[in-house]
Structure 1
Amino acid sequence: MHTPSETARQMVAPGKGILAMDESNATCNKRFASLGIEQSFELRRRYRQLLITTPGLSKFASGAILYDETLRQTTDDGTPFPKVLEG
């Protein structure tokens, strides 16, 4: 278990940033609509899955801000998104 200070230091590591995945369903749906993409729970899940399973993501992101729906979503194999981001 890391102390809060250690966690904070890791989050601001040089060359890394925080992945902001906290857009609401309404905002995500507007983005999809502007691109002609159907607005659905499943397509939002697949979009977010694409982001969090990007190879090498941990080299560039030290943390992620998640929207409520995202906290409850899982990958195709059933792994909760927060668990994927821990790795």
Structure 2
Amino acid sequence: MPPQRAGIRGFVGELWQVEFVFAVAGLGWLAYLVIRPPKSDKPNRRREPSRPEKAAERVGLGVFVCAAVGVLGWVANLVELITS
């Protein structure tokens, strides 16, 4: 296993992982915007959500999870940088 780089080069070298997670979250958000149901002024009286609504909720949850993992990864990299 190669030695871990320290300093700003090590921090920037590890930052690509966090950026990758944020990119996935951004693509997920774009997918959510594409498949979410259109808003209407008429109230929806159905109890069961439609398939696009269910898919939009799942994609929204995926975006939230990716963003949370990205933030946690960024914090972990920052703590590692500070402590090393």
What is the TM-score normalised by the length of structure 1? 0.31
Question: Which structure would you say has the larger RCO, counting Cα contacts within 8 Å and 6 or more residues apart?
Answer: 2
Structure with higher strand content: 1
Structure with higher helix content: 2
Greater Rg, structure 1 or structure 2? 2
What is the TM-score normalised by the length of structure 2? 0.32
